[in-house]
Amino acid sequence: MTRIDAKFAALKAEGKKAFVSYVMAGDPDYATSLEIVKALPKAGVDIIELGLPFTDPMADGPTIQLAGQRALDAGQTLQSTLDLAAEFRKEDDTTPIVLMGYYNPIYSRGVDKFLADAKEAGIDGLIVVDLPPEEDDELCIPAQKAGLNFIRLATPTTDEKRLPTVLQNTSGFVYYVSVTGITGSAEAQAGNVGPEVARIKAATDLPVIVGFGINTPEAAENIASVADGCVVGSAIVKEIGEGKSVEEVSAFVASLADGAHRA
């Protein structure tokens, strides 16, 4: 059982929905980013998604693209991202960390080395948005064998024919992208999301977490009420990009977490 599996089991026992937060590793710099990540569990975050900065983030909107660029400009690398996770783990051995990014940096490092290093650093799961299920032998299956969850995205365009393929080797949870397009591009609507979540849950026992288009405590509550939880990324990254203090970012994250936990 991974930390992700354990977290969902604990939340289910408490009758609570999951609140997942995304931040870009190294944004605006390594030291501040580490402080922010360390503060997330205290703000009510159940699972941390840690963005791996990349030069060509095709699934991300301007907010997260800019965060990645700030991180790269400050010298953030795959290694320093793993170092950040390892540093976090010195104080917190229970909050799951999902590394979210693109395949190129992983491929460059070498899959076997990356998986060993990620496991040692305390990473629990991977979301690699540019590797389709047809490429599962490349990273997904080796990751599962190494004890890491491989989390797949489902979208409004994932039809009945495609869904079984998407779910086949997915573990940890299913990330449902509530809107078509890039991150931060539109607001999620519970009325649209609910039936889609039900459709996915009919095909898997995994928790379904909804992300994209959630930027207020009310939206977090509404979306979490029709799913197993929600993810907020762009809205938090925007606060960091505006130069808010760690305390201000934490307070904003806490308001979102409270919303999700009210669901």
Q: What angle do CA 243, 244, 250 make, to 5 degrees?
A: 140
Tell me how far apart the alpha carbons of residues 155 and 72 are, in angstroms, rounded to a whole number: 29
Residues 6+ apart with CB under 8 A from 160: none
Cis peptide before 28 (omega within 30 of 0): yes
Residue 152 has which token pair? 């797949």
Residue pair 88/97 in contact by the 8 Å Cβ criterion = yes
Domains annotated on the chain, with CATH: 3-262 (3.20.20.70)
> Which residue numbers in the chain have pLDDT < 70?
180-186
Dihedral sign for Cα 29, 253, 57, 93, please. positive
**What local confidence, expressed as pLDDT, does residue 191 receive?**
86
**What local confidence, expressed as pLDDT, does residue 186 receive?**
64
Residue 56 has which token pair? 């060509």
Question: Amino acid identity of 82?
Answer: L
- HSE toward the beta carbon, residue 234, CA cutoff 13 A: 19
Cα first-last separation, the chain:
26
- pLDDT tens-digit map of 18-68: 999 999 999 999 999 999 999 999 999 999 999 999 999 887 889 999 999
Residue 57 has which token pair? 């983030």
What are the beta bridge partners of residue 20? 47, 231
Residues 6+ apart with CB under 8 A from 132: none
Return left, alpha or beta for 44; rule: phi > 0 is left, psi -120 to 50 is alpha, else beta.
Answer: left
Tell me how far apart the alpha carbons of residues 59 and 46 are, in angstroms, rounded to a whole number: 24
Tell me how far apart the alpha carbons of residues 227 and 39 are, in angstroms, rounded to a whole number: 25
Question: Amino acid identity of 92?
Answer: D
Q: Which one from 5, 27, 49, 221 is the annotated catalytic residue? A: 49
- pLDDT tens-digit map of 179-202: 766 565 567 788 889 999 999 999
**What local confidence, expressed as pLDDT, does residue 223 receive?**
95
**What local confidence, expressed as pLDDT, does residue 188 receive?**
76
Residue pair 140/169 in contact by the 8 Å Cβ criterion = yes
49 classed as catalytic: yes
Q: Which one from 27, 46, 60, 221 is the annotated catalytic residue? A: 60
